[in-house]
Structure 1
Amino acid sequence: MERVELLGLPLDPVGMEEALARIQGFLKEEGTHQVVTLNPEIAVRAQEDRALRQAILEAELVTPDGVGILWAAKRLLGLELKERVTGVDLTLALLRRSPGIRVYLLGGRQGVAERAALEARRLGAEVVGYHHGYFQEEEGVVEEIRQKAPDLLLVGMGERQETFIHRHKAHLRAKVAMGVGGTLDVLAGEAKRPPAWAQRLGLEWLLRVGLDPKRWKRAPRLFRFAYMVLKEKR
């Protein structure tokens, strides 16, 4: 299906298999292709953050990450998306199905990317480099990534990740660059995914917000997203 517009943002109505096929195609092309996994929180932030909005508008692939995006697509567009394509699921599928894929991991606290690299290697990837996400000067990090020229750049830097990729897209020399949120923490064993039943029902975000006080400040964005959708419908 062709790209659609949701709350002023682009969305590719793909399932996991379609997303993987698109990315496999990107790996055979020149230039850096940005992948955004769009969730309600990002959609809300993009209404006021012009740099984030531009990054999403110019991304080569924008997947539906989050049950809220599926709900909004159905309510506003009458579009029945069959599944979420989350950052962690997409990352794990790529690593498992692409033996030898050259990966660079960027993000997390000191030591997280290094431990995540061990798991990525276990899953069959060739890790060409890694770096923590707590840095101020971006030029040195970008230069290191450029020299490594990975097939896949995984960026887990929270609210900075999409704009970091977009800002340096022309210089990264990565075939695919994807913002993956807390995926590096999952790979490193720092964080556990919610139970399978919660994943199937799309309730991961609810459990994460409810069980982690540090995430409580993000909850208002979820309510604002629902308000935006209902207002748009009216």
Structure 2
Amino acid sequence: MKFMPVSVPQSLGPLFGLHFTLLSETEIVRLVAEHVPSPEEGVHLVVTPNIQHVALMRENGEFRKACEQAEILTCDGFPLYYYARCRGLRLPGRVTGREITQDLFAMPEALKKHRIFAVVDSERTGLVARQWACAHGMEDQFAFYVPPVGFENDPGLSGSLARLIRDHATTLLFMGVGAPRSELFVSRHRADLPPCWALCIGQSLLVALGLLPTPPFLVQRLNLEWLWRICLEPRRLTGRYVRALFGFGVAVCEDLLRLG
């Protein structure tokens, strides 16, 4: 049974095998910022699924299991959120990894009780994150690492990273290398990691640090963040989004068939 530090409302589901939290964005941010997990609690995995997660879960059973074992799951992608609503799940609203990360980085004083470790996509991201930590008097509490491609499937590399995170006495871990790598790493090394919050938040760190622009209000209001991201990185994201949309559509059909 998952142990949580406070009384958390019962989750809703299952939807694609996942049980989604009833906590709002504000409640999740406050919980992560204010609570330092104890050794008895272990790792608290936070995953913010979108249609790519659902598509990947159809192909990767280990990734599915990692998501199913998360302590907190939110509906990030708007197609997933609205499908959940159609299925009768009365969620508090969309809760995105970007919003959680931006809110946490906007409250550095509250994070000073934490020791922060960021697994990031590039040296540039790590250095900007370190500058943020230094600017707020947390230079000794912050560390980062840029893993090589395929690290999650290399026992030596992933084991070394887990030791770095443990030796830092991390209590707040940002996994910023995308799905499924982030979730697989945390799932495989739960026993090796220190008690901490493990937030699998993809590129949200880049937005929180100002390395990618925040979507304009109207884009967010119209649920067009996906189009905004494609416009920013068309070559990298267009094919990925098309595949994710197809996989999500198939998953929805399979889910409806199971319901009869």
TM-score, reference length from structure 2: 0.80
Q: 1:122 to 1:226 in 2, by over 3 A?
A: farther
Between 57-66 and 19-28, the greater mean CA deviation after superposition: 19-28
Pick one of 153, 158, 176 that aligns with 1:156. 176
Aligned residue pairs, count: 233
Q: Which whole-Å CA distance do the structure 1 matches of 2:51 and 2:199 have between them?
A: 17
Pick one of 148, 161, 164 that aligns with 1:134. 148
| Per-residue Cα deviation, 1:57-110 (whole angstroms, up to 9, x for no partner) | 11111111111221111112x123332211121122223342413211111122
Q: CA RMSD in A?
A: 2.3
Q: Which whole-Å CA distance do the structure 2 matches of 1:123 and 1:43 have between them?
A: 37
Q: What percentage of aligned pairs have identical amino acids?
A: 29
Partner-residue secondary structure (3-state), 1:46? helix
**Aligned counterpart, 1:102:** 115
Between 18-27 and 64-73, the greater mean CA deviation after superposition: 18-27
Could you tell me which runs of 5 or more consecutive residues in structure 1 were left unpaired when the two chains were aligned. none
**Aligned counterpart, 2:61:** 50
Q: How big is the shift at 1:230? A: 4.8
Q: How big is the shift at 1:196? A: 1.8
**Aligned counterpart, 1:61:** 72
- The residue type paired with residue 47 of structure 1 is R
Q: Which whole-Å CA distance do the structure 1 matches of 2:137 and 2:245 have between them?
A: 36
**Contact 1:9 1:43 survives alignment (8 Å):** no
Q: 1:128 to 1:229 in 2, by over 3 A?
A: same
Q: How big is the shift at 1:190? A: 2.8
Q: Which whole-Å CA distance do the structure 2 matches of 1:122 and 1:51 have between them?
A: 39
Q: 1:174 to 1:106 in 2, by over 3 A?
A: farther
Q: How big is the shift at 1:211? A: 4.1
Pick one of 211, 214, 228 that aligns with 2:236. 214
Pick one of 10, 29, 47 that aligns with 1:36. 47
**Aligned counterpart, 1:113:** 126
Partner-residue secondary structure (3-state), 2:249? helix
Between 175-184 and 133-142, the greater mean CA deviation after superposition: 133-142
Q: How big is the shift at 1:124? A: 7.1
- The residue type paired with residue 55 of structure 1 is A
Q: How big is the shift at 1:120? A: 4.6
Q: Which whole-Å CA distance do the structure 2 matches of 1:183 and 1:124 have between them?
A: 22
Partner-residue secondary structure (3-state), 1:140? helix
Q: Does 1:12 align with 2:33?
A: no
TM-score, reference length from structure 1: 0.88
